[in-house]
Structure 1
């Protein structure tokens, strides 16, 4: 229970702002959006990989290996508010050599700060 609370509140988990995330993406970090399909289709960060939280929790780093470029060492995680991406982060940290960073405030913060958002269909 304590581990879940720590994950939900981001205790000790590294986070970055949307602006910092853009800089990191420009340097080769991959962005993984853990929201559900409908949320992703309604608006997402251009270039984001869509892997819903449930799928990511079931597949772990092996699922990331199947979707991301092989040389990816830094992964940014995003959801709507930052809670689900924190859960994803807590489930991935320590399972491989990658660095996992949560985007503070999720898509809500991303939209507020103004970086581009894409929509499908």
Structure 2
């Protein structure tokens, strides 16, 4: 399983790569990385068709556990996916910009 650091997420966001947030809706509303798309892990299998085609799909959660599960699932389906190490918590702690609401 491939895990990437926040710097790789910075580059992915700048290039327009898809970033999927697999936390639940209430977590997403509290704080999120700008530009991510919410597909909660609890709905992930039924909504996997919503993930756009891309060279790499980035997956983020709160700290990295759920995003690893989702990335493993996507890789098993032939979709190149990586998990963001440290997740949204690390993003927030780094002082990078966030969205709420």
- TM-score under structure 2 length normalisation: 0.89
Question: Any residues of structure 2 matched to 1:19-58 within 5 Å, and which?
Answer: 19-58=7-46
Q: Which runs of 5+ in 1 are unaligned?
A: 1-12
Q: Secondary structure at the match of 1:24?
A: helix
Q: Which runs of 5+ in 2 are unaligned?
A: none
Task: Indicate the structure (1 or 2) with the bigger Cα radius of gyration.
Answer: 1
Deviations 1:52-110 (CA, angstroms, capped at 9, x unpaired): 002112333x232xxx4x5x3321101111001111111110313x3201000111111
RMSD of aligned alpha carbons: 1.5
1:82/1:104 contact within 8 Å kept: yes
- TM-score under structure 1 length normalisation: 0.76
Runs of 4+ in structure 1 over 2 Å off: 57-60
1:89/1:100 contact within 8 Å kept: yes
